[in-house]
Amino acid sequence: MATKHKEAWKTFAQVFDHFTELALHKLISKGVIDGLIGQTSIGKEANVFLAQAKDKTVIVKIYRLSTCDFNRMYTFIRTDPRFPKLNRQRRKVVFAWAQREFRNLLKAREAGVRVPTPILHLSNILVMELVGDAMPAAKAKDQLPKNPDEFIQDIISQMRKLYKAGLVHGDLSPFNILNHHEKPFIIDMSQSTTPEDPNAKEFLDRDTKNIAIFAKKIGVELTADEILQKVKA
């Protein structure tokens, strides 16, 4: 590990449990990443870092094993038909949650949805493409689009591709959409599920309502029902 990464490691190590620290060392020893650079955000369940991977910068998302709300995770994932035998064991739930996001991103990417490219999943760690120029692109809530109507129509197009690929985001809002060069990129797909999930309809309705609210905020008049029709078209 290079000296600068060793120094960064000392700074970040306090947020890692021993298992996660070993997993990160494994990623480094396998050449997946060279080391962590800096922390970009702390979410409800995960810490997100920038990492060096040879000549490029990537995102490393680490789901916390001890302080995450694994009961919430289990409530969301237990109805996903892709995880029928998952038991309510904290570590297994967190691992499945990270694996689920990896699978969702891979499926979305294959369907042409604008999402970060997933690179690797290991236990509670997800490595993926950095969407941004050196630093992560701003969220849509913080960097409003210059052409609101075009941006909203593009979001709906991404939602439609996702739906046709057999996925519902489940938590879509301007908090989970990046504005990168005036193009929306959908992120945070750990809760995304299939239409066969009994909660899928409720999740899709919530997604469309959130986008309708955002659209109105930036001057685009679209109802949730109109967005839903476009998504299912």
Residue positions annotated with a catalytic role: 171, 188
C-alpha 228/C-alpha 212 separation (Å) is: 10
The DSSP symbol for 221 reads -
**Residue indicated by tokens 């809530």:** 141
The DSSP symbol for 15 reads G
CA atoms within 13 A on the CB side of 204: 26
The DSSP symbol for 121 reads E
Under 8 Å CB-to-CB from 142, ≥6 apart: which residues? none
- Identity of residue 227: I
The tokens for 52 are 């060096």
- List, as own/partner pairs, every contact residues 190-193 make where C-beta atoms lie below 8 angstroms and the sequence separation is at least 24, other chains included: 190/45, 190/97, 190/98, 190/100, 190/101, 190/104, 191/76, 192/100, 192/101, 192/104, 192/108, 192/162, 192/167, 192/168, 193/76, 193/79, 193/80, 193/167, 193/168
**Hey, which residues does 46 pair with through a beta bridge?**
63
